[in-house]
Amino acid sequence: MPEARAFWVDAPGQGSLRAEPLPPLEPGMVLVETLASGISRGTETLVFQGLVPASQQAVMAAPFQAGSLALPVKYGYCSVGLVQAGPPELLGRRVFCLYPHQDRYVVPAAAVLPLPDDVPTERALLAANLETALNGLWDAGATLGDRIAVIGAGAVGLLAACLASGLPGAQVELIDIAPAKAPLAAALGLTFRSPAEAAGGADLVIHASGQPAGLTAGLALAGFEATVLELSWYGSRMVELPLGEAFHSRRLRLISSQVGQVAPRQRPRWRQPDRLALALRLLADPRYDLLLAPPVPFAALPAAMAALASGPSDIVCQVIDYR
């Protein structure tokens, strides 16, 4: 078996590519040669900066990570590759896997999902983020005709807004403080508003900005007995909220969502692989190509990750090219 190269976070703000041996290919396993991977910006930049609190390091572990979130760690979960060896039915197939950034890897065959033929390789990198957005809408109970405010035009916010806009009769506003996000929203067919322009009185507020101020704005936009869904994850950062204002008199419901579990209403009938397979099917929509940044080569991944973690950026999903 050949060696592999993998991206590791060595210390806060520092990453490198390391060579490592591959395990033997045993029955029921597949060897995948990576075609592309994607940086899930919110969580991965927190990991890169060493901002995962000790209490959550076990909970937030990725399926095939190595090392510890206390660092160093090999982390990531958006990988598309080509099956080079394994069961005959998977040979030569493009597959998605929740695997870190690595140029080839060996995993159980059950850990990969074949891509639908109408989903391009790079677009499939959005599957993990789309699965998060899908699970969030399930958790929130979004339904027909809802007035829905989505705060934060990052990958998860954009995907949640796109999914919500497909609900018949739903009125969806995508809200962000950056006017530069407006053209992308328009290209996706979404209504874009600044926080000051938002309609308010929403039945459902989905917060995905990653900033505490966004959640505060979400509470203000929620209507009577509305649900505010928190999709952001703050790592070790503390969040202050104005719960002494209209939070109680408007009987608001603030709930969390996390992709590690299927939403309760679907859990008796849906397994996690079923949910991920649905996300891949939904990516047949060509609009989602607009979320992909031009690819950078795998060799440049350490610099690309450092740049993403350094501050605000227009990049939604950074594509890493291994070809």
Q: Distance between CA 27 and CA 29 in Å, rounded?
A: 6
What's the distance, CA 119 to chain centroid?
17
Last residue of a domain, one of 256, 272, 305: 256
Mean pLDDT to the nearest integer, 84-98: 97
207 and 303 fall within a common domain: no
Of the listed ranges 116-120, 203-207, 291-295, 312-316, the least confidently predicted one is 312-316
101 and 199 fall within a common domain: no
Mean pLDDT to the nearest integer, 3-16: 97
311 and 249 fall within a common domain: no
* β-bridge pairing 66-67 and 29-39: unpaired
248 and 172 fall within a common domain: yes
171 and 74 fall within a common domain: no
pLDDT score of 1 more than 80: no
CATH of residue 44's domain is: 3.90.180.10
- % of the chain beyond a pLDDT of 70: 100
CATH of residue 252's domain is: 3.40.50.720
The reply to whether 19 falls in a domain is yes
188 and 250 fall within a common domain: yes
30 and 89 fall within a common domain: yes
77 and 38 fall within a common domain: yes
Residue 133 · residue 163 · CB < 8 Å: yes
Residue 40 · residue 156 · CB < 8 Å: no
Residue 136 · residue 155 · CB < 8 Å: no
Structural domain including 211 reads 129-256
109 and 133 fall within a common domain: no
Full-model pTM: 0.94
The reply to whether 58 falls in a domain is yes
Domain count, the chain: 2
pLDDT score of 70 more than 70: yes
Mean pLDDT to the nearest integer, 315-322: 96
